[in-house]
Structure 1
Amino acid sequence: MTIIDRPAPSAPRLRRGSHVRLAAAATALWRVIDDRGRIIGHLEALAVDGGGTRFRARRFHTASGAFRDLGEFWSADDAVDCLRLGR
């Protein structure tokens, strides 16, 4: 898998009632913001051989000063759920 390297794709559509919004952070990368306005992590789109897209859930780890990958999912909703429920 590789990070998508083409013009920034539009933000993935999340299911209704997800209680988060996405804000563009970079090409194929979005901040996941909860309904209180807090950034709870990042969603990254990854190109898969054969034309598919996977979504990586990432969270900043303050103590190490680095991002930690929480998992890769076939659905943006599942990646967002990982961020929402894993707090």
Structure 2
Amino acid sequence: MSAPVLAAPRETFPAAPPGLTITAVGAGLWRVALPGGPVLGHIERRTHGDVERYAARRLVGGGVRAMALGEFWSAADAAECFR
């Protein structure tokens, strides 16, 4: 019998942008929403070697698809795309 595979722990978003609610939905993936309102999109941490970047995607078409907003050096910069 093989050992169970454990999911990676969800992390707190490394920034606290005012006017947005950011919730962990997976390892290195966060949902961005207005407080008590609709989901605006997602931010994903991407690593390339020892470099971290944050990719922002905005939901469009009623949340059916996502549009890339860009990759950023900091989590705070990625969150600013949604304000």
Shorter chain as denominator, the TM-score bin is 0.7 to 0.9
Matched position secondary structure for 2:57: strand
Unaligned segments of structure 2, at least 5 residues: 1-6
Amino acid at match of 2:30: W
Distance 1:33 1:65, change over 3 A: closer
Deviation track 1:18-41 (CA, whole Å, cap 9, x = no partner) reads 221211222211101223432121
Give the match for residue 12 of structure 1. Answer: 13
Q: Does 1:21 align with 2:21?
A: yes
TM-score, scaled to structure 2: 0.73
- What TM-score, normalized by structure 1, do the two folds share? 0.70
| Percent of aligned pairs sharing the same letter | 31
Q: Which ranges of structure 1 fall in alignment gaps of 5 or more residues?
A: 1-5
**Structure 1 64/42 Cα, relative in aligned 2: closer, same or farther at 3 Å?**
closer
The answer for the alignment partner of 2:76 in structure 1 is 77
Give the greater-gyration-radius structure (CA).
2
Size of the aligned set, in residue pairs, is 77
Q: What is the root-mean-square deviation of aligned Cα atoms in Å?
A: 2.4
CA contact (8 A) 2:72 2:78 kept: yes
Please give the residue correspondences for 1:49-64 in structure 2 after superposition, counting only pairs within 5 Å: 49=49, 51-62=50-61
Higher helix share: 1
